[in-house]
Amino acid sequence: MAMTNYRADFPILNTRINGEPLTYLDSAATSQKPQAVIDALVAYYQHDNANVHRGVYTLAAQATDQYEAVRDQVTAFINAPQRETVFFTRSTTESLNWVAQTYGEQFIGPQDEIVLTVMEHHSNLVPWQQLAIRKHAKLRYIGLTSDGQLDMDAAKRLITAKTKLVAVAETSNVLGVTNPIKALAALAHQNGAIIVVDGAQAVAHHPVDVQALDADFYAFSGHKMLAPTGIGVLYGKLDLLEQLTPAEFGGEMIDNVTQQTTTFAAIPQRFEAGTPNISGVIGLGAAITYLQQVGWSTIEAQEAQLTERLLNGLLKMDGVTVYGPHDLALHGPVVAFNLNGVHPHDVATGLDMAGVEVRAGHHCAQPLMAYLQTSATVRASVMFYNTPAEIDRLLTALAEVKEFFQS
Amino acid sequence: MSLLKLGELYKAVILEHAQQLHHHGQLPDVPGLTLNNPTCGDVIKVQLDIQDDQIQQIAFSGTGCTISQASASVMTDVLAKQSPAQAKTLIHDFSQLVMGDEIDATAKTQLGDAAVLGAVAEFPTRIRCAMLAWHAADQLLDELGGDPK
């Protein structure tokens, strides 16, 4: 299938790095931003900037309307049942910490079990680990099958009546696999537990339906889906949110304050204390609009084609170890690999000389690195705006780096 | 790609050290200090055996990239048999060098093979790799400084 080239929409992709054209293959860390998103930020500050939910003047109403319109957009984007179930945070990390500090603080007790997977990003691991330490709860980890998928037999053994909470990434930021969230949610619910889903690596790559997934909480960031940094989302089921005490207090989240008492605003304002990241929300709205204009069928088809070229190219090369499944059908647009005998930092520096920007390190997943018996890997990740020629540039540069270090 | 540019960082001396590490391994019953590089998870342990105001034995162990391993290897050559005070000065000079600051010719000579790592200054993301073992040695010298000999 011929690919549509979206590069012109992303001004940064015209820059040169080390004298070479920028080949950006680190969208799993953060995506690039289309002009439409950049324009929305500029337009907001040029025409509509005012604080939200406060002023009675026209400008404040404009800002508030735009801000709340994005809540509706996000609600539809993830098919949340009510707009009140969607609130804005700083990031996926803040969303997940929020669940740990509210739901976790209120409902997890001594000897309760929290089930995680070994592929979790630190942001969906450390908050639960620290909660478990505070509450004397226990952590259980679901491992992987030999081909790098989540071991669902182990999940069935580990999720039991003792389990209070299951926390899992929808898509791994290292292995590229998408986990069977529906099946995990069913296991959790059969055992009276809730499921918290880290959607950071999923939302920009395929349609997400939080009701179909039956997720109790679903967290994601704007910056991995073409929006600015500093804006995140948390979705929670309404009956759960209504039971939770706010983690932060201050402006915007109150109903009435006296010297000694406060009543809180309704959900979702209750959970958005202080002036929010208004421009970030506006940017997120523009990003969703842009993604919908490109369309899921194009996004998924282009990313599958790019991933195939990347995965097959790496698998064909001698002396390359590819982590995660080798079966394309199981693979999202993230591929972690190592050049045998060459440290990933050296590989990444070599690729950088060719303008090819990839991540090298532990990808905020040190327990997974330990599980895979390595300290670090190289990681290339693609988005629909990449081109087959860019994948080829990576593969060519990688062959040269290999030659340089192994000759 | 410009492999020429890659050659500016990974000079022959560095590649030789990385392939044939000097003073690599563990010294029994010798004080050591371990540092890790939080961006990649690499770990380096440096050990120093100081007697009579002189580094009698030095070793490093752990895993890392070409730059951090080669840098640790050249460091052991540079610091061996130095006094703790001289070692501190050499570590400081090396730090200046990889940060891109000028150091005088004498200091450069004393740094020997390590001076080649000055090229790291052109690769700011790798300065941390080059400095890891030196930071470990520096901290260990401070820790051991108060010990009566």
Q: Are A324 and A263 part of one and the same domain?
A: no
A243 touches chain B (CB under 8 A): no
Helix (H, G, I), strand (E, B) or coil at A189: helix
Reported as a single tens digit per residue, the pLDDT across B130-149 is 999 999 999 999 999 854 44
Cβ distance A375 to B123 less than 8 Å, yes or no, reads no
What's the mean pLDDT in A354-380? 94
Q: Are A258 and A375 part of one and the same domain?
A: no
- B7 to chain A: closest CA residue: A404
What's the structural domain count of chain A? 2
Q: Are A146 and A187 part of one and the same domain?
A: yes
Strand partners, B24: B60
Q: Are A127 and A21 part of one and the same domain?
A: no
B6 pLDDT tier (thresholds 50, 70, 90): confident
DSSP secondary structure, A237-289, as one string: -HHHHTTPPPS--SSSSEEEE-SS-EEEPPTTGGG--SS--HHHHHHHHHHHH
Report pLDDT for A334.
97
Spatial distance between the Cα atoms of A378 and A398, rounded to a whole number of angstroms: 11
And the tokens for A256? 């009435």
Give the closest residue to A285 by CA, choosing from A80, A92, A75, A84. A75
Q: Give chain A positions within 8 Å (CB) of B5.
A: 18, 353
Q: Give chain A positions within 8 Å (CB) of B129.
A: 345
Q: Are A354 and A236 part of one and the same domain?
A: no
What's the mean pLDDT in A35-57? 93
Spatial distance between the Cα atoms of A2 and A298, rounded to a whole number of angstroms: 11
Among residues of chain A, what percentage have pLDDT more than 90?
A: 96
Q: Give chain A positions within 8 Å (CB) of B63.
A: 375
Q: Are A281 and A300 part of one and the same domain?
A: no
For B63, the closest of A342, A375, A396 (CB atoms) is: A375
A1-5, A328-332, A338-342, A366-370: the lowest-pLDDT one: A1-5
Whether B34 shows a pLDDT value over 90: the answer reads yes
Whether B3 shows a pLDDT value over 70: the answer reads no
Q: How far are the Cα atoms of A13, A341, B75 from residue B30, in angstroms, in the given order?
A: 53, 30, 18
Give the closest residue to A253 by CA, choosing from A277, A269, A241, A232. A269
Reported as a single tens digit per residue, the pLDDT across B69-85 is 999 999 999 999 999 99
Q: Are A162 and A244 part of one and the same domain?
A: yes
pTM of the model: 0.93
Report pLDDT for A223.
98
Reported as a single tens digit per residue, the pLDDT across A312-365 is 999 999 999 999 999 999 999 999 999 999 999 999 999 999 999 999 999 999
Cβ distance B2 to A353 less than 8 Å, yes or no, reads yes
Give the closest residue to A186 by CA, choosing from A209, A149, A213, A162. A213
- A343 to chain B: closest CA residue: B65
Report pLDDT for B145.
84
Interface of A with B in 284-343 (CB under 8 A): 342-343
Question: Between these two residues, B39 and A141, which has the higher pLDDT value?
Answer: A141
A175 located within any domain: yes
Cβ distance A404 to B3 less than 8 Å, yes or no, reads yes
Cβ distance B6 to A350 less than 8 Å, yes or no, reads yes
A95 located within any domain: yes
CATH number of the domain within which A337 lies: 3.90.1150.10
A223 located within any domain: yes
Q: Domain limits at A377?
A: 7-32+295-406
Q: Are A310 and A388 part of one and the same domain?
A: yes
- B120 to chain A: closest CA residue: A349
Minimal C-alpha gap between A276 and chain B (Å): 30
And the tokens for A188? 């959790």
Minimal C-alpha gap between B6 and chain A (Å): 6
Scanning the structure block, which residue is given the tokens 């006296």? A258
Report pLDDT for A338.
97
Spatial neighbors of A184 by CB under 8 A, at least 6 apart, are: A155, A159, A166, A168, A195
Cβ distance A400 to B3 less than 8 Å, yes or no, reads yes
Give the closest residue to B90 by CA, choosing from B144, B104, B100. B104
Spatial distance between the Cα atoms of A268 and A84, rounded to a whole number of angstroms: 5
Q: Are A246 and A224 part of one and the same domain?
A: yes
H/E run at residue A93: helix A92-99
Give the closest residue to A43 by CA, choosing from A64, A60, A66, A61. A66
Q: Give chain B positions within 8 Å (CB) of A366.
A: 41
Residues of A designated as active site: 364
Report pLDDT for B148.
43
Cβ distance B1 to A400 less than 8 Å, yes or no, reads yes
Spatial distance between the Cα atoms of A363 and A377, rounded to a whole number of angstroms: 8
Domain boundary among A291, A314, A331: A291
Q: Are A397 and A285 part of one and the same domain?
A: no
Spatial distance between the Cα atoms of A127 and A255, rounded to a whole number of angstroms: 30
And the tokens for A398? 């990688």
Mean pLDDT of chain A: 96
CB atoms within 10 A of CB A165: 26
Question: What CA dihedral angle connects B128, A125, B63 and B94, to 10 degrees?
Answer: 10
Q: Are A402 and A374 part of one and the same domain?
A: yes
ipTM strictly over 0.90? Answer: no
Among residues of chain A, what percentage have pLDDT more than 70?
A: 100
Report pLDDT for B149.
43
Q: Are A313 and A367 part of one and the same domain?
A: yes
Reported as a single tens digit per residue, the pLDDT across A193-230 is 999 999 999 999 999 999 999 999 999 999 999 999 99
A1 located within any domain: no
Cβ distance A20 to B43 less than 8 Å, yes or no, reads no
Helix (H, G, I), strand (E, B) or coil at B64: coil
CA dihedral sign, ordered A279, A283, A289, A293? positive
Question: What CA dihedral angle connects B65, B68, B74 and B75, to 10 degrees?
Answer: -160
Q: Give chain B positions within 8 Å (CB) of A354.
A: 1-2
Report pLDDT for B146.
59
For B1, the closest of A353, A369, A376 (CB atoms) is: A353
Interface of B with A in 56-115 (CB under 8 A): 63-67
Q: Which of A16, A17, A339, A345 to mutate to test the interface with B (most CBs of B within 10 A)?
A: A345
A46 located within any domain: yes
CATH number of the domain within which A234 lies: 3.40.640.10
A8-12, A66-70, B16-20, B84-88: the lowest-pLDDT one: B16-20
Cβ distance A346 to B63 less than 8 Å, yes or no, reads no
Minimal C-alpha gap between A354 and chain B (Å): 5
Minimal C-alpha gap between A29 and chain B (Å): 14
Cβ distance A346 to B66 less than 8 Å, yes or no, reads yes
Cβ distance B65 to A345 less than 8 Å, yes or no, reads yes
Cβ distance B1 to A345 less than 8 Å, yes or no, reads no
Spatial distance between the Cα atoms of A50 and A382, rounded to a whole number of angstroms: 37
- B125 to chain A: closest CA residue: A349
Domain boundary among A291, A313, A347: A291
A2 located within any domain: no
Reported as a single tens digit per residue, the pLDDT across A20-31 is 999 999 999 999
CA A383 to chain centre: 14
A396 touches chain B (CB under 8 A): yes
A375 located within any domain: yes
A139 located within any domain: yes
- A377 to chain B: closest CA residue: B40
- B124 to chain A: closest CA residue: A349
Report pLDDT for B27.
96
Scanning the structure block, which residue is given the tokens 């523009």? A286
Q: Give chain A positions within 8 Å (CB) of B65.
A: 343-346
Reported as a single tens digit per residue, the pLDDT across A232-273 is 999 999 999 999 999 999 998 999 999 999 999 999 999 999
Domain boundary among A251, A274, A291: A291
Q: How far are the Cα atoms of A401, A404, B3, B136 from residue B124, in angstroms, in the given order?
A: 19, 21, 18, 20
